[in-house]
Structures are given as structure tokens and as C-alpha cells.
Structure 1
Amino acid sequence: MTKIGIIVGSTRPGRRGRAVAEWVASVAAQERPTDDFDIIDLADFALPLLDETHPAASGLYGNAHTTRWAEAIARYDGFVFVTPEYNHSIPGALKNALDFIYAEWNNKAAGIVGYGLHGATRAAEHLRLILAELKVPAVRTQVALSLHHDFTFTAPTEPGDVTPGPHQHQTLTALLDDVIIWSRALQPVREGVLA
């Protein structure tokens, strides 16, 4: 069984990310029932701005919140990042969470589900560059949810419902398949066993 973490990349009050992550988890449960998918909500970790003395690559974590975060991420074989687009990039909370740790990310595949006015495509491009530095290969397939077409709103300040069209379901299924395949393929690398 492959274990995949669905990371909610925004901590902003009123965010739509949690609802998007729940949609991802629902499709994953339906399409990939033999694999294990968990939602990892950054808001549940309340990470401060990076406050570690040593660089993350050293693995010398001095704070309890860093150790808790590292242990949570270490359990997974791969990830699906759910991110909005803030000013052409990812939220600061997501960048901060990525920067806190290093080895726990290495050699695990990732997929990106973006949402925003333009599907968070620019944020996804920035995220791909960051993930590459962390030795996280991001799969090509990407979901880009439009606030205009894939959500319904009851009021401008309410998160609204996620209502993706059938093509989004198909794209997400392909993304999940890719993440599973690559996560399994990278297992020998994570275990330090090279053929």
C-alpha cells in the first residue's frame, strides 16, 4: 500500500483549500481504494516563521514543532499539494512548511492541484522549482481548478462548494495514478537500494 499525503497549502481563514483537499481525498478513495490517502492541513501544525538555527539539510532540528512536522511528513511515500495562487506564487505558509525540513521530502513524488482565478498555474510552476530543490519529482499531470467554473459561492466571503466538472475528475485520477507509480518507483531510492 502506497501512503500519500494531501497537503493543504493555505492557512488563511476562509480558504477553499480544505474543501479542495477533501475532493481530492474523495476521488482518491473512489479511484485508488488500495492506497492510503491522508489530508495534512498546515493549519493543524501552526508552524512559526522558520526558526531553526541549522539549515534543514543538516537534519539538526532543535524545536518540537519542527520534529512534529518532520515526523508527519516522513510517514509518506508521496504527496498531492493543494495550493491557491497568491500574487503569482504559492502561499507563504506553504513555502515556510517546505523550508522547515529537508530529508523527509527527498525522493517522494508529488502532484499539484491548484485553484484560483487562473487555476493557480503560476503558483504551480513556482512550486515545481521548489520541489525540485527538495528532490521531489513533480508529475507532469496537473489539476487547475478555476474559481469561475469549479466552485459555487453562497456569498463572496464564504468558501463555497467545490464543484469540478467531469474533466477535472479525469485529470485528478490521472494525476493520482502518476503519483502512485512514481512513488513506488522511487522506493528503492528512498531505501538506498540502487540496482
Structure 2
Amino acid sequence: MIAAGGIAAALSTAAGLLLAISSAISHDLIKTMINPKITEKGEMLAARISMGGAILLATYLGLNPPGFAAQTVALAFGIAGASLFPALMMGIFSKRMNSSGAVAGMLAGLICTLLYIFTYLGWFFIPDTNMLANTADNWIFGISPLSFGAVGAMINFAVAFAVSRVTAAPPQEIQDLVESVRYPKGAGMAIDH
């Protein structure tokens, strides 16, 4: 049952991505920019062909090199964890967080994470472009490049906190908005206990 749930989640995600790719190519690219007079039948054919092309490209990238899919997923989660997560959390739980702190933290976390990952896995995963061998002996504090997103998130938190403390506080209406998100109207007794 657990494996079936995982497979169903993967297939539904893949199906959604394939639909987005096919409609982006057939409707947004071909109908909007290349051939505005395309028929619905022609647009459907273009969508099916682009979906087949996307499946073939994904299959090729999954097989050559074999670790490409895992590395890409690790990169995506590392980037999200190092750039977006701290800004969202501090935006909700800190009334002092401002745009300067959020942007500086996001850039610091993103740049550190990308540099670390690409140093060991190659620039944009191109073979033989890594600066250091991807072995535990070369990793900083033994942290794998696929796990560096957590360190990037801590760097993001630290930079965002420091920059937001030395720059102007956000306007009062923004601070009130953050307070209303933290303690919504109607919570009443739940807040006190």
C-alpha cells in the first residue's frame, strides 16, 4: 500500500507536468506566437507530439547519466530549502523581517547552496566540470552536496536576521498584517490557552 501511494503520487505529478508542458507548447507557443490560425485539431496534435517529445527527453535524461534525476531533485529541494523556506518562516513569525533582509537572506542561501553543489557535482551537472572530487573526504564537515540545502537555509536565516536588524523596520500596516496571520480573528480562547 505504501509503495502504491508513492507510485500514484509520482505518476500524478508526472501527468500534471506533461499536461503543462504540452499545453505550454501547443497553446502558448504555437497558437500564440508561431501560428495563430492553427485549428483545434492541429493544436491537439501539437500537444500530443510535444508530450511524446517530453517523455523521450525525460527518459533519456533519466538514463544518461543515471544520477541526473536524483541530482536535479536534490538541487530543486536544496534551492527551495535554502532560498524560500527561511523567508516564508521569518515573514510569518517575525514582525521585524523586511524586504531587504528577505532578499539578502535568499541570495546568500541560494548562492552558497549552488556553489557547494556545483563544486562537487559539476556546473549544471555537466560531466567533468566539478572542481573537487565528490567524495566524503573533500566535503566540508562531511556534508554531502545533496544535503547542503539545510546549511544554505541556516545561512539564509542568519543573513536575513542580521540585515533586517540593521535596516529600517517594515511599515506598521505590514507588522499588523503579520500579527493577523499569526493570531487570526475568531481564535479567541485558543490563543490564551
TM-score (norm 1): 0.22
Q: Report which of the two structures shows the higher radius of gyration computed on alpha carbons.
A: 2
- Relative to total residues, which structure has the larger helix share, 1 or 2? 2
Structure (1 or 2) with the greater strand fraction: 1
